[in-house]
Chains A and B, each alone.
Chain A
Amino acid sequence: MANRRGRRMGAWLVSGPPLVYLLVFFAAPALIMVLASFRSPAEFGGLAPLVDEAGKLDLNVDSYVRFFTETVFMRVFVKSAWYAALTTLTCLLLAYPLATLIAKSSAKYRDLLLLLVILPFWSNFLIRIYAWMIILGPNAALAKLVNGIRALFGAGPVPLLFSGFAVLVCLVYVHLPFMVLPIYANLEKHDQALLDAAQDLGATAWQRFWRITFPLSLPGVFAGAALVFIPALGIFAIPDILGGPEDTLIGNLIKQQFLETRDWPFGSVLSIALTVAALVLAGIAAWVARRGSGASRA
């Protein structure tokens, strides 16, 4: 008995600090945000007092009504989801072969290749985005090459910077490691005997990939997709710096509400909508992953 109680106390001691940390820095701000979404904006921004001069509690759903009635916000949401989906798909197409290469390379090169994948994290996120301004800039080699080729076909020059293209390229660049690492971690555990067996049973290389390797790697693919899609959905720095006027995403909208328009209640509503959307999509991904690989936990 005493032993069991002691063990339970030990469990609390170990898991207590992170729990407290999460309560203070995640749950509490989230609750504050939910509360803020039902309050009124003050005249010069921020929040109006919770209890007004007449002593009445000032809580309303005005900001939610605005979110659901003005279609412009929904359009931004859809556009953000589209950018995030394109980013996820592109990352998947680039990361899968790369992860395969790393998983199949000898132990000597594997660590080096993994290091190269995470190397960009060593420099500042914003600096890396500004670097793309130079790479995609009108006087850079890339733009000159693209426009030179276009000129050969009689097409006029196009700017690469401050466009949806620039935003997408940078979104893919920033998120690629988050797709490579989980897929690599999955592929690295695959049993060569399964591929030998499939080959022995008559499967060609293509069939071995689609029937064995790919289905077994789905947990890694879904983990990577969630790690890319969710942050890409809420990003604001990349469209801010590299996007054109058309490339306002939900993250920019939220930032505007808090820092420029200073309509905190409406900003809170947008944040909550983003969180709910991300949770729903993550839930769907987890459900699909479980169904797709229900049997792979042998």
Chain B
Amino acid sequence: MALLDIQGVTRRFGDFTAIDGVSLAIEAGEFFTLLGPSGCGKTTLLRMIAGFDLPDAGRILLDGEDLAGRPPELRPVRTVFQSYALFPHMTVEGNVAFPLQMARVPAGERKARIEAALEDVRLIGFNRRYPHELSGGQKQRVAIARALVTRPTMLLLDEPLAALDAKLREELQIELINLQKEVGIAFVYVTHDQTEALALSHRIAVMNHGRVEQLDEPSRIYGFPRTRFVADFIGHCNLLSGPVAANADGVVTVDVAGLGPVRVAVRSSIASSAQGTVALRPEKIRISASAPVDTPDNHCRGTVADLLYMGDVTVYRVETPGGSRVEALLANSQGGRAKFFEVGDAVEMSWPVNAGHFIEG
């Protein structure tokens, strides 16, 4: 049985449906992420798990028990808020002691548990500091220690790293992975940052317009997006759409305007659909100055219209003679060269049938 079972949950605000019949199950000890753009309903769903909001329809079960009648203070889940929400009039120790006091943990036992929680988040020796004397990263650690100190069955994290700078964010991501492994508590993590979701999670639910578009492991979400939205939202992706021209021997040919026929391998036999999209990641495209010597499955010419030099990689936007644009990515790792091509250069692009991923519709 799953630890948390969300069954057909719907939440409306007036005419707006924030959550539209969502069902999903979260296992014990799992790092689960709700990923989506702002307004997709991920925070509403998190608030309903915490108890700050109630579903209009559907049920939320924790350990098999319906949470409907339980206010937030009686649910064995804890939230880490985006704004940290540390109590400004209490020290670090006072903040971490608060949930223990609420749970009536005897005073003698508190000290050791506070120390253990602060050790879990690597924040030793800050006990007497007040929140305004801490950096953003330290505040976040206190918020996590405070949420973990009572050993909840589940930790809910609402964009906890959004307010931190990129370098610190990466550092805390690694710490969060290790912390989750250490404490073994299920984490439900809400973010709009797809790289964060891919880096942290065991499983990701990609949400859009109050629905779950895809629920899968990170590598499958990235490699095998099930909808155009998922392909587009997670990383960069060329979405090449058109009518299906042929469908035989596990290879589908999509006739893309301005590009010509694009061949893509399909795993299982797909229902004969008239329209299709090939999701093609920029890094899967081979880009070169001369025509490839072998006979690639897909091949086209074009000129570099724009380029974005990112340091480690360069993103080239290539315009085909037919007027469509394809994004290709090249690592700048060889030969000490900064870039391989300039704007206006003629280039050849090729990719095998298994580089793309076919999406119906």
Chain B residues in 8 Å Cβ range of A119: none
Nearest-neighbour CB distance to chain A for B67, whole angstroms, equals 14
Are B132 and A200 touching (Cβ within 8 A)? Answer: no
Q: How far is the CA of A50 from the CA of B249 in the complex (A)?
A: 120
Residue of B with least CB distance to A216: B89
Residue of A with least CB distance to B146: A201
Q: How far is the CA of A191 from the CA of B85 in the complex (A)?
A: 8
Are A207 and B102 touching (Cβ within 8 A)? Answer: yes
Task: Pick out which of these stretches binds chain B: A36-44, A161-169, A290-298.
Answer: A290-298
Nearest-neighbour CB distance to chain B for A292, whole angstroms, equals 8
Q: How far is the CA of A287 from the CA of B131 in the complex (A)?
A: 22
**How many residue-residue contacts, CB under 8 A, span A and B?**
73
Q: Is B87 an interface residue (CB 8 A)?
A: yes
Q: Is A211 an interface residue (CB 8 A)?
A: yes
Are B91 and A200 touching (Cβ within 8 A)? Answer: no
Q: Is B309 an interface residue (CB 8 A)?
A: no
Are B72 and A297 touching (Cβ within 8 A)? Answer: no
Chain A residues in 8 Å Cβ range of B79: 196-197, 200
Q: How far is the CA of A202 from the CA of B50 in the complex (A)?
A: 11
Q: Find B85's partner among A197, A207, A293, A295 (CB 8 Å cutoff).
A: A197
Interface residues of B in 135-156 (CB under 8 A from A): 146-147, 150
Q: Find B88's partner among A201, A202, A204, A216 (CB 8 Å cutoff).
A: A216
| Interface size, A (range) | 20 to 34
Are B72 and A200 touching (Cβ within 8 A)? Answer: yes
Q: Is A133 an interface residue (CB 8 A)?
A: no
Are B91 and A194 touching (Cβ within 8 A)? Answer: no
Nearest-neighbour CB distance to chain B for A199, whole angstroms, equals 5
Chain A residues in 8 Å Cβ range of B99: 201-202
- Max chain B CB contacts within 10 Å: which of A193, A211, A295? A295
Q: Is A282 an interface residue (CB 8 A)?
A: no
Q: How far is the CA of A200 from the CA of B78 in the complex (A)?
A: 6
- Kindly supply a per-residue 1/0 record for chain A positions 198-235, scoring 1 wherever the CB is within 8 Å of any chain B CB and 0 otherwise: 11111110010001100110000000000000000000
Nearest-neighbour CB distance to chain B for A166, whole angstroms, equals 40
A193-B83, A196-B81, A201-B98 in contact; A295/B89 too (CB < 8 A)?
yes
Are B85 and A202 touching (Cβ within 8 A)? Answer: no
Are B87 and A193 touching (Cβ within 8 A)? Answer: no
Q: How far is the CA of A190 from the CA of B125 in the complex (A)?
A: 29
Residue of B with least CB distance to A298: B132
- Kindly supply a per-residue 1/0 record for chain A positions 53-68, scoring 1 wherever the CB is within 8 Å of any chain B CB and 0 otherwise: 0000000000000000
User: Given A199-B52, A199-B72, A201-B73, 7 more contacts at CB 8 Å?
Assistant: A196-B79, A197-B81, A197-B85, A200-B50, A201-B98, A211-B98, A296-B89
Closest 5 CB pairs of A and B: A202-B102, A197-B85, A298-B132, A295-B130, A201-B99
